[in-house]
Amino acid sequence: MSRIYAEQWKDYELIDAGGNKKLERWGDIITIRPERNAYFGSKITHAEWKQRAHFEFIESSSTKGEWLALKEDLPTSWHINYHGLKLKLELTQFKHIGLFPEQSINWKFIDEHIAEGQKFLNLFAYTGAASIVARKKGADVFHCDSVKQIISWGKENMQLSGLEDIHWVLEDAVKFAQREVKRGKKYNGIIMDPPAFGIGAKKERWKIENKIEELLETVLELKSDTGFIIINTYSPKLKEFDMIKLLQQYQLTGGVDTLCMKTTTGKVLEYGLRTVIY
């Protein structure tokens, strides 16, 4: 297994992990969240975590829950910075707060490989950190997500960062990409972060392990000759071997790594697979 490590930054710290939870600092706010990959023991006791943390997410099901405030008079929405960009965070009922910090390794890659005037596509784009990084470099950015509230959140992040003119596409990411192929569009950079489970445009259910080849074929048609593709996958049913096999099948140049981050206490937390194609 090949590992690649995302770095923390001033406004984000993965403090500790273990016992199926993780302790994180976002600016001045510290949270405790469930984390299935933290199956090992934590370095600091969970009792000490609670003394330090401001919020803890308590699961009511595998997909939802609520935030428990561990201190008084706390904001449920706040901002953090990432290398000159300003991003909004907010407590949600899905344990997420608007940012996947391990993706900072991809934001750095985009910053280094996209140039002014080039075209950039973000599929399954969430709140748009990757889109904003590309736009800051002067790229012509298309941001596609099927959830209206998430698109609005992305727009707010763009404005907070003092940017403008991202193309916001409220649409099923797969259908939009397929239409872009028919329109003959090409992109210098593409990133996609498909969910492990999805609902299609016609409400059909799909699983990433069954859809990944179709998605790959579509974005390959959209990639310019000198462009790049980043694919993030978080499903335990999609293994590193499966992605390597796909690269070999399509004779692609690139690589597959397990995306990780090291806690301040020295633990290693694995997130999912990161596939880069040139």
Residue written as token pair 């600092």:
25
User: 201 vs 95, which has greater pLDDT?
Assistant: 95
Distance CA 206, CA 197 (A): 6
Q: Does domain 100-277 have CATH number 1.10.10.10?
A: no
Domain extents in the chain: 9-81, 100-277
- Average pLDDT of the residues in 8-16: 98
Q: Buried (b) or exposed (e) across 248-277, using 16+ Cβ within 10 A? A: eeeebebebbbbbbebeeebebebbbbbbb
Question: Taking 90 as the threshold, does the pLDDT of residue 163 lie above it?
Answer: yes
Output the average pLDDT for the chain.
Answer: 95
Q: Cα(277)–Cα(244) distance, rounded to whole angstroms?
A: 11
Mean pLDDT along residues 22-26: 98
Which residue type sits at 249? Q
- pLDDT cut 90: percent of the chain above it: 90
**Could you report the per-residue pLDDT of 211-253, keeping only the tens digit for each?**
999 999 999 999 999 999 999 999 888 999 999 999 999 999 9
**What value does the mean pLDDT take over residues 89-95?**
94
- Residue 203: per-residue pLDDT: 67
Give the DSSP H/E element, type plus range, for residue 132: helix 129-136
The answer to whether 82 and 49 are in contact (CB under 8 A) is no
- Beta bridge partners of residue 38, listed in sequence order: none
Tell if the pTM clears 0.75, that is, is over it.
yes
pLDDT of residue 206: 74
What would the pLDDT profile of 38-81 be if each residue is shown by its tens digit?
Answer: 999 999 999 999 999 999 999 988 778 999 999 999 999 999 99
The mean pLDDT of 89-97, rounded to a whole number, is: 94
Counting every residue written for the chain, the total comes to 278
Q: Using the predicted structure, report yes or no on whether residue 23 has a pLDDT greater than 80.
A: yes
pLDDT at res. 147:
93
Topology annotation, domain 9-81: Immunoglobulin-like (2.60.40)
pLDDT, residue 204, reads 67
pLDDT in tens, 100-149: 999 999 999 999 999 999 999 999 999 999 999 999 999 999 999 999 99
* pLDDT computed for residue 202 by the predictor: 63
